[in-house]
Amino acid sequence: MTDKIISGTKEERIAIYKDLIEKGKVKGTYDAGLVIDKSFLGEIKNLANISTVTVHAAIGFVKCHFSPDDVAVGYAQDSIIAKLPNMLSKTAQYFTKIMNVKNIGECYIYVTENAWTSEVGQQVVKHDLCLAGETEFCGE
């Protein structure tokens, strides 16, 4: 999703943004009455909002890697795996890494979507849709 927002075509970005708006409506964070400020000051405010969304996503990414429960479970698994024969240990570690990649990937998707569907994220999305020519999101 994030790669399409950054480097996708205008149509791809609009489709993703509209999907995020729908998710924001379901979540209750979308403000239909928000009027988009197209002035220079509005652009500066939007850049600040983008920074906020990025920070929220980054904090979420860190949480994806360091969950206290996962650390305890990981320590226990490593202790058990250390007692297994070397060949079984390497196989188990390989599959554990695969499972962690899947869980981390799902976590990244969740925190990214959560950041974009927050109130600030919805403001950024609505602002970008308005500037992309989707006038129903301008709130004028």
28 has pLDDT over 60: yes
* Domain locations in the chain as residue ranges: 2-137
Decide: 126 and 38 in contact? Cβ < 8 Å.
no
User: pLDDT at position 55, please?
Assistant: 92
pTM as predicted: 0.70
CA 116, CA 136: separation in Å to the nearest integer?
A: 19
**12 within 8 A of 4, measured Cβ to Cβ:** yes
pLDDT score at 5: 73
